[in-house]
A = this chain, B = another copy of it.
Amino acid sequence: MTDYRIEVRVTPRRGILDPQGKAVGGALASLGFSGVDEVHVGRLIVFGLQAGNEAEARERVDAMCRQLLANPVTEDFAVTVAAGSAS
């Protein structure tokens, strides 16, 4: 088994309402930060995973995203697999 460092980026799907993004955008403006637009807030999930090889690691993380980590209706996800342990 090999140790992999996994990073999952979960972002609101384009065109879908992003209330968190709107709230952050509004807060930045009220703090006086100008020139900011298209604010979107997503999740960053990082962890260690033991797997036989990179393809198997990617396949299992894909399944984790579909079952738990990302909402299939409103969110997109992108997976990065790197050799090495998480700590």
- Residues in A lying within 8 Å of B, measured CB to CB: 1, 9-11, 21, 24-25, 27-28, 31, 33-51, 60, 63-64, 67-69, 85-87
Tell me which of B24, B37, B47 contacts A38 (CB under 8 A).
B47
Q: Across the interface, do A39 and B44 meet the contact criterion of CB distance under 8 Å?
A: no
CB distance from A55 to the nearest CB of B (A): 15
Q: Across the interface, do A41 and B44 meet the contact criterion of CB distance under 8 Å?
A: yes
Tell me which of B36, B63, B64 contacts A47 (CB under 8 A).
B36
CA distance in complex: A31, B61 (Å): 12
Q: So how many copies of this chain end up in the complex?
A: 2
| Known A-B contacts A67-B31, A68-B28; A40 and B46 likewise in contact (beta carbons under 8 Å) | yes
CA distance in complex: A40, B21 (Å): 21
Residues in B neighbouring A25, C-beta threshold 8 A: 47
| Known A-B contacts A28-B64, A69-B24; A45 and B36 likewise in contact (beta carbons under 8 Å) | no
